[in-house]
């Protein structure tokens, strides 16, 4: 009984942990490149600033590169869409802003996509750029090179006419679908599912065996049966918790397969660039992809 109460309390505490985080603070939008983590050289800041300018001139889409020293305890996806909204990247009516965000201390990278660009910068294409272009350089210790290469890949897609951009996004989606199907066919049991299966066997099966007994209670068995009744009241909660966690583990399996391992960091002492730039009021809803190294 005490073990069950502890497990339920632990799950509740973990579920509510993120709600205890303070509201995030955001760096000032000083230009098209905000290098607060000091990963880029002045020449690279100028190069990326020019790229962002060309994107906006060719398509009216706004593209910002941001390196951050601290995510303040937030997942990069949660921080990223809030950063995009705070800066207002993209036109207000079109929501056509996009950010490349790098957090070297947490070893996280994200492409954050505004609502209006989701058809041409899909989650699949964002993931493809992260995993095939950015992360290989990050793992090799070339942080600046990964940022520049990733920004160039994003910039090329943003400069394209709508039809061509949609075709490239569709090709990336088709490739991701095929890859996911292969993983499901050849993959083993996910660790998360294995953990909850062990919990099921070790805790719930003996409990259910106790409930299955049909012996009539004797005069000294009242306390034992009251304890069983208390356990039975906890059973639906535990079953729901386990089922919920199994579902979450299954839904995130493909995302976990895309994450890289640990690698090196380092870089230049750069700064912001592109004075006079400001967002146009665009909004973000969590579209894009993340990666780690």
Provide DSSP, 214-262.
-PPP-TT-HHHHHHHHHHHHHHHHHHHHHHHHHHHHHHTHHHHHT----
0.85 exceeded by the pTM? no
For 240, phi then psi, to 5°, come to -65, -40
3-class DSSP state of 67:
strand
Report the distance separating Cα 189 and Cα 192, nearest Å.
8
Report the distance separating Cα 117 and Cα 205, nearest Å.
50
The model's pLDDT over 19-41, given as tens digits with 9 standing for 90+, comes to 567 899 999 999 999 999 999 99
Q: Which of 53, 158, 97, 61 has its CA nearest to residue 282?
A: 97
Report the distance separating Cα 152 and Cα 182, nearest Å.
30
Report the distance separating Cα 290 and Cα 126, nearest Å.
8
Full strand arrangement of the beta sheet holding 97-103: 33-35, 62-67, 97-103, 108-114, 284-292
Report the distance separating Cα 172 and Cα 92, nearest Å.
28
Q: Which of 264, 271, 262 has its CA nearest to residue 67?
A: 271
User: Looking at residue 179, what is its pLDDT?
Assistant: 74
> In sequence order, what are the beta bridge partners of 55?
none
User: Looking at residue 178, what is its pLDDT?
Assistant: 83
Report residues of the chain scoring pLDDT below 50: 8, 18, 225, 249-274
User: Looking at residue 193, what is its pLDDT?
Assistant: 63
DSSP state of 117: G
Contact 279, 92 (CB under 8 A): no
User: Looking at residue 212, what is its pLDDT?
Assistant: 57
Residue whose token pair is 């809030």: 82
CATH 3.50.50.60 for the 25-178+286-292 domain, yes or no: no
User: Looking at residue 176, what is its pLDDT?
Assistant: 84
Contact 64, 33 (CB under 8 A): yes
3-class DSSP state of 207:
helix
Report the distance separating Cα 34 and Cα 53, nearest Å.
14
Cβ-based neighbour number of residue 222 at 10 Å: 10
User: Looking at residue 290, what is its pLDDT?
Assistant: 98
Query: Which pair of structure tokens corresponds to residue 169?
Result: 């996004």
User: Looking at residue 254, what is its pLDDT?
Assistant: 46
Contact 165, 157 (CB under 8 A): yes
Contact 263, 139 (CB under 8 A): yes
User: Looking at residue 103, what is its pLDDT?
Assistant: 99
Contact 34, 65 (CB under 8 A): yes
Report the distance separating Cα 86 and Cα 80, nearest Å.
10
User: Looking at residue 209, what is its pLDDT?
Assistant: 63
With residue 82 as reference, give the H or E element that holds it. Answer: helix 76-87
Q: Give Cα 240 distance to the centre of its chain.
A: 25
User: Looking at residue 18, what is its pLDDT?
Assistant: 47
């Amino acid at each position: 009984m005490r073990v069950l109460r502890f497990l339920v309390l632990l799950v509740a505490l973990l579920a509510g942990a993120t709600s205890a985080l303070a509201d995030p603070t955001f760096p000032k939008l000083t230009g098209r490149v905000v290098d607060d983590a000091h990963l880029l050289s002045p020449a690279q800041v100028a190069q990326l600033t020019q790229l962002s300018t060309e994107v906006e001139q060719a398509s009216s889409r706004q593209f910002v590169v941001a390196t951050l020293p601290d995510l303040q305890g937030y997942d990069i996806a949660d921080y990223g869409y809030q950063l995009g909204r705070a800066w207002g990247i993209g036109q207000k009516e079109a929501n056509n802003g996009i950010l490349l965000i790098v957090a070297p201390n947490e070893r996280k990278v994200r492409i954050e996509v505004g609502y209006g660009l989701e058809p041409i910068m899909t989650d699949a294409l964002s993931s493809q750029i992260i995993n095939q272009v950015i992360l290989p350089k990050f793992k090799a210790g070339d942080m600046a090179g990964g940022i520049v290469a990733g920004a160039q890949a994003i910039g090329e897609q943003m400069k394209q006419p709508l039809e061509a951009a949609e075709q490239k996004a569709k090709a990336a989606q088709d490739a991701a679908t095929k890859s996911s199907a292969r993983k499901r066919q050849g993959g083993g049991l996910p660790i998360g599912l294995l953990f909850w299966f062990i919990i099921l066997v070790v805790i719930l099966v003996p409990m259910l065996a106790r409930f299955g007994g049909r012996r009539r209670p004797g005069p000294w068995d009242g306390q034992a049966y009251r304890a069983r009744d208390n356990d039975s009241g906890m059973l639906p909660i535990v079953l729901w918790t386990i089922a919920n966690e199994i579902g979450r583990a299954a839904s995130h399996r493909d995302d976990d397969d895309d994450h890289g391992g640990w690698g090196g960091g380092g870089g230049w002492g750069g700064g912001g660039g592109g004075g006079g730039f400001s967002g146009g009021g665009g909004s973000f809803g969590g579209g894009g992809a993340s990666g780690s190294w």
